[in-house]
Structure 1
Amino acid sequence: MLERVVEQVLNKVDIVDVVSMYVPLKKVGVNFRALCPFHQERTPSFYVSPSKQIFHCFGCGVGGNAIHFVMRIENLTFTEALKVLAEKAKIDVDFSQPQSAKDRALAKQKEELISLHHDCFEYFQRQLYLRENIDAARYILKRGIRKETAKQFGLGFCPENNNLYELLAKKYSKEIIDKSGIFIERNGKNYCRFEGRLIFPIFDTMNRVIGFGGRIIDDSRAPKYMNSPDTLIFSKSKVLYGLNIAKSSKEKDFVVVEGYMDVISLHQEGIDNVVGVLGTALTQDHSFLLRRYKNEVVLCLDSDQAGKNATFRSGDILYQNGLMVKVMELENAKDPDEYIKKFGKDAFLLKKQNAMFVIDFKIKQISSNYDLSKSDQKIRFVREYFEKILMPISNEVERQEYIKKLSQITQIDEDAILKEFTKNENIKLKRIESIQHFKQVQQKSNLTEEERIKKNDIDLLSIYVEWANKSESIRNAVTEDDFCTEDIKILFSSIKNLINEGMEVTYSMLLTFVDDEKVLSELTSFSSKGFETEEAAKRAIEELKTNNNRMLWLRREMLEAQKRGDNEKVLKLQMLIRKIKDGKEGI
């Protein structure tokens, strides 16, 4: 029974430990807080409750238990996430038991896509070593890639006018081939999007091919590089090239570079802790992936202005997600690939050894834009320093250190800087809090009658689950007839049946039965404040059961039943309305 497995796993794992693997949490009262990993924000609105074993973001509304968190952050099905947590908790579980139909269908599609990508990978590899594709082999030699390195990274080639689609069509359905994103349809014919390109297979951390990158070999047409589009098994914002190899490095840090050739050239010289961002901007998901294996990162992006801007942005993301970040600056070379070929491994490692802490790098970049001998420019510099250096720092000791540094750079009194910064920070926080409060009030006032009734049902279910295992009178006080919305009524019935079977259903366990994201958000944002005692919980239950909006809903349901001629339903609703009225008069 899957419910028993869920119960075991949720009782064994601590959501604080699970979330901390990806996001640095800060204790705030009885809860923990962080920047939300599921949307971009500058002020933390993501909360984790150790007592309820749930998370909720008051910014974007996502919420759930430890299973939901792993599902969302790792892009897994429910069963896959449950398996990950079971392994973490060292629980031996047989996952051959039935999954949901949705999970089974999704898992089957993923398996087929991984199999298809493996077949393509083998096809591309074979093509690289055929005589008719000698130009691709020459290109590899020209770029200084040795044969053993090409094999280590699984490099291949996709010839033009190939029969790959026809070969795959013998084994896979058109739907799966289309979902792979490898082919483009033109004039009724399917073409591989990587035709005429050197192929860089992209592996996940389990060494499975999940996508491809392709580079033209003659520099005669653009774009030079092309990646697989996002699919069920691949998202370039969540994958790092070379991580399948670099994760096993004994080095204490990762070196993050931009391109395929940067990764390959550095690995070829024995620097085995290098990963690449696939030519895209570094994301929060990348930072979670890195943090899973190591806590330190050295950024070594291209040396042009675009690379410096990317370093600035990437450094912020990595630092704010709890990683120790340093920055390498390479002179006289446009990228790490060119640098190591020009100056060698020792020169590169010396540069790495002298890498600058990310905040010092940012100060250097910002200060280069100002003439600090001029008062107006000094004032503008201080404002930018507040916003881009001091505001992102959450550690008070670090912040104090960089207030001191600002004082040294500008010759402005340290106390004056601290006073002005504190004033600015408080104004900004109040503005953000006002905006968030306005949004919450607006959301509540914009609820339709049906939504408000559903929210009442969700609140009733929340209080019931919190108290059902602790109070027999509350367990008996709530029945199916107390719920107006069908999906919440079904949810309540499932929970009640499990409780009657002797299972201790926790608040976290309740969430595993919920598929609707809106319901999940409401359940995880529900506050237990004011319902700490049994008497308070009972009063709240009675108020929710006799809510005026619910009366309106029941009357509307009764009118609909009358129109349909459903006399049995009309009679039942009349009795329920009378029952609620009687109960209300007795309060």
Structure 2
Amino acid sequence: MAIPQQTIDQILDRTDIVDLIGQRVKLKKTGRTYSGCCPFHQEKTPSFHVYRDKQYFHCFGCQANGNAIRFLMDLESRNFVDVIKDLASQTGIELPKDSTEHKKLTYKKSTPAASTQTPSSATPPAFQPDDDPFYAFQMQQNEEDMASFDLAENQEGNLYDLLEHITQFYEKELALNHGAQAYFKQRGLSAQTIQQWRLGYAPSDWQHLEKAFPTDIEGLKHIGLIRTSEQGRDFNLLRERVIFPIRDTKGRVVGFGGRALNDEIKPKYINSPDSDIFHKNRLLYGLYEGSKNKASDWLMVEGYMDVIALSQAGIHGAVATLGTASNTEHLNILFKRNHRITIAFDGDQAGQKAAKRTLEIALPLLNDGRELKFFILPNEHDPDSLIRREGTETFKQLWQSAPLLSDFLFALLSQEYNTAHPEGKSQVMGELKNLTNLLPQKGSYRYLLTQSFREKLGLGRRFTAQVSHDASLSFNIQTRNEEFVIALLISHPYLYKQFEQLRAYVPKEELLNDILTILDRVFDLLPEDQEHAVYYMLGATSQFRDIISEILIRTNIFSLVDVPEKSFKLAEEYALSLQEDYLRKKMKQPQSLKESHNLRMQLNELTKQISLKLMG
């Protein structure tokens, strides 16, 4: 069964090697890698490492290494095809039933009308990504796994080879065009940067590719670099533009981006169209280069020049989409490399709209542990211009201080609505609810984000103590009993948090224990309005209606505690006072010497707290 390398690469890209191996080997995160005891030989000290960013494993003890396919083949003694079928099923990728997929990577070479020396007539040197420690391994795997790739020389061309030849052609054209060189020089790029990113230039000639590659017309049309007009004439897609080769995660050129040198030419940017080897929605410009430079932090920016300028300044990890809006595939690619990613946006209104669109796309992906930051750029600046003006260190500081999603979202919504009024606060909470409904149902982030907004809008359930410094705490309360606490909790249910610790001390047979248990169950359901919260509690404790009514009358609680600050102060006093009472009662009849010792330690600690309150 012949399986195209493109399909194998797609399966490996969608397979998380850490998760796959982690199901069979106990792994522990150590820095940027995961380590464990090697399953291929006996060892006590872990020397087996898994690299998520490279989708690669290596044992420094027995030298076993490879990708997810090799791991399953060696560990389970299975053949290549069986493993591929299994992984394809898990990743949802359909394997080719015949040689159709293989044919998509090839095209039929044509015979030129006349034998002319062209740049494509000489065989260029084989491309090898610079300093890639895994390149040899990848090539060896390709040879072992894809021995069925038997291309007929001089009859078939390979699309990857053709794209590599075109890249070299554009590089040579850049060296001959002073205008294109001046553009890159004006943008501050060094000769070394231009060479590293393999930048080039597409001539203004409408048929320059046909002239350079006369035997590869079918291949050029297949990857969309030659188009046919309505009049039936062929023309080149990229003309009089500086060229940005786009590489996949293996370092192979799969497409091009072109920027017009003349601002009158529209559109300013053009990218290769999608083809069998070029998929804009599953690629990020700069991802290969960032990985090669061992980037750990990732920043999504808008343009190719932003990525290159940041890299030249020593900031690796910037990536850009390929002329499309960011999508879930793009974000998941980065989340596989780091739990925290940052997205840069312009500070203008258009940038804010783009940020909100990205936010809605990202929310369903924010499982617990993932973080999204928003780097809002100053007006009239992009990362390229900002780093040139402010310098590398300042840019890094701005990036590190970029707000997390929760802070960014609050700032965004509070700009849209006037939160000084109840109506504005209500609109903010309504917008937030629509957005949090997009978050994963499992996990705590939805709840925590809502609570954060409530506190920022002053809707928190807990009273904030606003006690005057002249007021002193008094623990000489004449009516120091459970009845007063019950009355306080019924009249001010939000004070439950002050008494929550009492549940560990109050005997189960006492009414106060029942009231605390009910409050613990319904606390998150309490209405925001104070009066409504009291009615809610009276309903929740209806089985004790008669006795609670007597307590409320006897304590005269509603006239005694008529302001939040006073109730908060009393809650603090009674919580500590009752804890002291219950501890002293338990100390009179300890179950053991150990319990007596523990109770005395608790009482000593509680006495210190009471002393501090009295001194404060």
Structure-2-length-normalised TM-score: 0.51
The structural deviation recorded for 1:116 is 1.4
**Equivalent of 1:121 in 149, 153, 167:** 167
User: How far apart are the structure 1 equivalents of 2:167 and 2:15?
Assistant: 39
Name the CA shift for 1:234/1:110 in 2 (closer, same or farther; >3 Å).
Answer: farther
Q: 1:185 maps to what in 2? A: 228
Query: Do the aligned residues in 1 keep the contact of 2:417 with 2:428 (CA within 8 Å)?
Result: yes
Shift of 1:2: 8.6
Cα distance change, pair 119–249 in 1 and its aligned pair in 2 (3 A): closer
2:96 and 2:293 map into 1 onto residues whose CA distance is 25
Give the conservation status (yes or no) of the 8 Å contact 2:227–2:234: yes
Q: Aligned to 2:376, which of 329, 339, 346?
A: 329
Which letter does structure 2 place at the counterpart of 1:124? Y
Contact kept, 8 Å, 2:346 with 2:379, in 1: the verdict is no
Choose between structure 1 and 2 for higher RCO, CA contacts under 8 A separated by at least 6 residues. Answer: 1
| Deviation, structure 1 residue 253 | 1.6
- C-alpha distance after superposition, 1:300-348 (max 9, x if no partner): 1333222222223324434533542211122244311111122111111
Give the alignment partner of residue 95 of structure 1, picking from 138, 145, 170: 145
Distance across 2 between alignment mates of 1:209 and 1:109: 22
**Cα-to-partner distance string for 1:440-469 (whole Å, 9 max, x where unaligned):** xxxxxxxxxxxxxxxxxxxxxxxxxxxxxx
Q: Which has the greater radius of gyration?
A: 2
Contact residue 201 and residue 242 of structure 2 kept, 8 A: yes
**Which residue is 2:341 aligned to?**
297
**Matched residue, 1:403:** 450
1:354 aligns with 2:401: yes
Counterpart-to-counterpart distance in 1, 2:195 and 2:148:
40
SS in 2 for 1:310: helix
Between 1:370-379 and 1:280-289, the stretch displaced more is: 370-379
CA shift at 1:65, angstroms?
A: 5.5
Separation in 1 of the partners of 2:19 and 2:350? 32
CA separation of 1:199/1:367 partners in 2, compared to 1, >3 Å: closer, same or farther?
same
Cα root mean square deviation, aligned: 3.9
1: CA distance, partners of 2:210 / 2:141: 45
Structure 1 residue 201 and structure 2 residue 278: aligned?
Answer: no
1:249·1:272 contact (CA, 8 Å) conserved in 2?
yes
Cα distance in 2, alignment partners of residues 383 and 314 from structure 1 = 19
Q: CA deviation at 1:177?
A: 2.2
Q: CA deviation at 1:180?
A: 0.9
Partner in structure 2 of residue 229 of structure 1: 273
Residues 415-451 of structure 1: CA deviation (Å, up to 9, x unaligned): 8995499xxxxxxxxxxxxxxxxxxxxxxxxxxxxxx
Q: Quick one: distance in 2 between partners of 1:283 and 1:73? A: 22
1:429-468 residue pairs with structure 2 within 5 A?
none
3-state SS in 1 of match to 2:292: coil
Offset at residue 148 of structure 1 (A)? 1.0
Cα distance in 2, alignment partners of residues 17 and 338 from structure 1: 37
Partner of 2:298: 254
User: Which amino acid in structure 1 is aligned with residue 234 of structure 2?
Assistant: N
The runs of 5 or more residues in structure 1 that have no matched partner are 4-12, 22-63, 81-86, 422-587
1:163–1:372 Cα change, 3 Å = closer
- Where 1:361 maps in the other structure, the secondary structure is helix
Letter in 1 for 2:279: S
1:217 Cα offset (Å): 1.0
The answer to whether the 8 Å contact 1:204/1:239 transfers is yes
CA distance 1:72–1:418, change in 2 (3 Å): farther
CA contact (8 A) 1:200 1:214 kept: yes
Structure 2 partner of 1:175: 218
Residues 546-572 of structure 1 show CA distances to partners (whole Å, capped at 9, x for unaligned) of xxxxxxxxxxxxxxxxxxxxxxxxxxx
The structure-2 alpha-carbon separation of the partners of 1:303 and 1:413, relative to structure 1 and needing over 3 Å to count, comes to closer
Q: Which runs of 5+ in 2 are unaligned?
A: 4-11, 21-84, 103-136, 462-493, 495-521, 528-616
8 A Cα contact 1:265 1:337, kept in partner: yes
- Name 2:264's counterpart in structure 1: 220
1:279 maps to amino acid: G
Partner-residue secondary structure (3-state), 1:256: strand
Residue 175 of structure 1 aligns with an amino acid whose one-letter code is: E
1:409 and 1:288, CA in 2 relative to 1: closer, same or farther beyond 3 A? Answer: closer
> How much has 1:389 moved relative to structure 2?
3.5
Q: Any idea what the Cα deviations from partners look like across 1:217-242, whole Å, max 9, x if unmatched?
A: 12122211111111111111111001
Residues 1:16 and 1:270: Cα distance change in structure 2 (over 3 Å): closer
For the 8 Å contact 1:247–1:293, the answer to whether it is kept is no
Q: Distance in 2 between matches of 1:237 and 1:75?
A: 22
| 1:489 corresponds to | none
Which amino acid in the other structure matches residue 177 of structure 1? L
Give the secondary-structure state (helix, strand or coil) at the position aligned to 1:214.
strand
AA aligned to 2:222 is K
Between the two proteins, the alignment pairs up a number of residues equal to: 354
Deviations 1:463-493 (A, max 9, x none): xxxxxxxxxxxxxxxxxxxxxxxxxxxxxxx
SS in 2 for 1:215: strand
